[in-house]
Structure formats: C-alpha cells, structure tokens
Structure 1
Amino acid sequence: MNIKIVKTDGDVEGLAEQKWVYSPSVKTHFFHPENLVEDVNGFDDSDYNGVGAVGSPACGDMMKMWIKVDPKSDKVVDCKWQTFGCASAIASTSMLSVMVTENGGMKVDDALALKPQNILERLGGLPPRKVHCSVLGDKALRKAINEYFRHSKQFDRMVIEGSVMVDPDTRITDRDIEEAVLEGADDMDKLQKKLKVGIANKDAYAKAEALMGKFMEKYYG
C-alpha cells in the first residue's frame, strides 16, 4: 500500500496562525521530515528486517514504518516511515526516526522502552489535543520490532498487546480507556462522561481508574 503524506492548507495555515502552540522543532520536522519515504513504488525495502503498520486511511491517520536492525549489535541502524497524518503525527514520527538511529543506532530494548513523552520532550512539546498523534509512530515502531523478532525467531522477546475487557456492561476495554486518555480524559469524571465506564459496576470503576493512571503515566510522565 502506498501511503502518502498529505499536507493540507489547513495544516500549513494552522502552523502559521498558532505560532505559540507549535515549537520550532515541530515546524522543522513537519516542513522537512527526516527519513521519510515519499513514494513506496521507488523504495527498496529488501534491506529492512522489520515493518509495522498501524491506523486506517478511513480514519485519516495511518503509519507505516520500516526498520533495519543489526543482529550483531542489536541496534536499530536505519528507520524509514510513511504516513497519512496531521502536522503533529509527521513531526513526532520524524523525530522518533532520528532518535532511534542517531549515534550509531539505539539498542532494540531501549527503543521499546521509549515513551511518547520522550519524543514530546525532544520536540519541545505538542498541544494537549495533539498528544495522541505522537502515538502513531510509537505503535508502528513496536510492530516493526515485533516483526523483526518474529523473522529472527526471537519469539521470547516479542511484546504482544491485546485488549482486556474492563466493563462488561458497556463493553469498554483497556484500549478504549487508552484512547480516551490520549484524547484528554485526565480524571474519572471526564472518562465516565466519554465512555460511561464503571457507572453501575464498582469493580469496573476501580479497574478503569487504575488503567487511567497507568496511561497517564505512560504518555504524560
């Protein structure tokens, strides 16, 4: 699938009109993204040993990432990516690709330990409503690393994430809570207003509250 970056007039105007919101680093990585694959038809991916794709074009955001891991050093020595996405998704993934390949490459375990907050710190921050955009690249990287583990038969190193039911009454899972936190639900009132989780179930309320805290720590530090 050929995923192209689409920089709309709204993206550019938004950056121009909200200079107080976007840092110089965000603007640099948006207008001049690093390690970007502009057209996969001319891209030779045969030298890469891990690929990950997340999101959906129908939802407006999709990310594909290719990584090359040196088996001897266990370092990510190259990283390329392509996306449908907003300015924040483009800038954050550009920065992520720099972080995992600079100084000779990052150890795979260190790359897996990266948090979106680490990317935001290097970018100089993002508007709160745009923090969720930084997660696209992070998730694509994790999928690419898992594929590398699979192809190199390092099955014990694979990190598999699945959905866990939190509230059977409303069919809310941990992934629903994660997305809600990324979209700004930073207390239980906001979380319940958005998801109706734990309204009539005290156990579900406690689980949701614990998960909210976990994801707040993961993404916001």
Structure 2
Amino acid sequence: MMDKNGQPCPYSAVRTDVVPFIDLGVSDKCGGGWPRFILRADLEKYYLTGGYITFVCAIMVVHDRPIPVPPLNIKKHFSSLLGSTDVSFVINGETFHAHRAVLAARSPVLEALMSSITLHDITPATFRVILQFMYTDALPEDDELGDSPSEMLQQLLAAADRYELDQLKLICAQKLGDNVSVDTVAATLTCAEMYNCPELTSALTSRWRGISRRPC
C-alpha cells in the first residue's frame, strides 16, 4: 500500500497465499481479504489521497495445463523381472526362468505344482526350527528343543550343512561345543566330521583333551 508521498509502507504489507479467481459469469463474487488489515483512522490519515487509496499488488496468472500422465509401462517393469527369477523349467533341454508368485497367480495348474514341496531328509520338528531361523535369525531356547537339545542341535547342524545355512551351522556348533560332556562328545564329534564342521571338531578336540587330563 502506498502512502501519500507515493512510497510503499512496509508496516502495512501483508503476505498471503495464492488466491485462485474462477470465472463464474455475472454471479462471480470470488474475492479475498483481511478483516483487520489497518485501522480506519490510520488509513484516512496516511494513505487516503483525493479520496483514493493506492495498492501495489503482485499478480501471477497461471494457465491451466493438464497434468501429464506417462504411458503405462507395467509390461516393461514385469519383463525386467525376468532378470532375477526364482524358478526354472527345463523342456527338452531348454531352460526357461520365471517367478513362482507370478505363475501361481496366472495359472491354477502351475500354482498346484509349486504350492507344495515334499522333503524326505528332515524331520518336521527340525524343519520347523529351520524355518523360524530363516525368518528371524534366532533359535528357540534349549528347553524348547525337545527332550534332547543336544540331539536336536546335531540334526539342525546336519540340515544347515545340507541347505548351506552357514550362520545357523556355526550357532549350532557353538551350542554343541559349549554343552559337550563325556556322554555326548563321541556322537558330537562324529556329527562335526560327517557334516564338515571343522570349527566344532577343533573345539571338541581341545575340550576333550582338557577333560581327559583331569585327575580322577
């Protein structure tokens, strides 16, 4: 707002958000303002000149532009998934790679083929612990490993070796080594050698030497 000398007065400047004005025809009454912008007495004393008040306004005209929508590209994205697949089909010597979830969603027959995998070299109790570890990186407490925790740990070590779960294998080796006794050392050592666990073999050998050297 300009004062009587034609100078802008910063004390009467007010910043506002952008106010859209929509053309509604003759009934258009769109507008904006502030209920307590300035005292009437100050307005008449400092800004009223010849019955007029001068305002300096910054107006931005924005032309309506539709928001651009890129072309659909789900085909491109899903095709790129073929670079990282989780199942393969071998047909007359030729291999095709795909994703289990996509094929199962598209074909009930393929869903039935891939929805169940039968394992014959592991007990349900052992596999339950294996699954829990793969999802959580944690093993149950020893009192939750059944009647014989040592036997269960040996089974877990064997399964970890078979399915290449190296971290689980070392955890089982540590637990077996920490809880070895005269009654279990032979079976545990056999397990370590059978399932290629030199860390456990070394720990058992050192501990057994210590036990065998103790005076009776």
TM-score surpassing 0.5? no
The structure whose RCO (Cα within 8 Å, separation 6+) is larger is 1
TM-score between both structures, scaled by the size of structure 1: 0.24
Higher helix share: 1
| Structure label with greater radius of gyration | 2
TM-score between both structures, scaled by the size of structure 2: 0.25
Higher strand share: 1
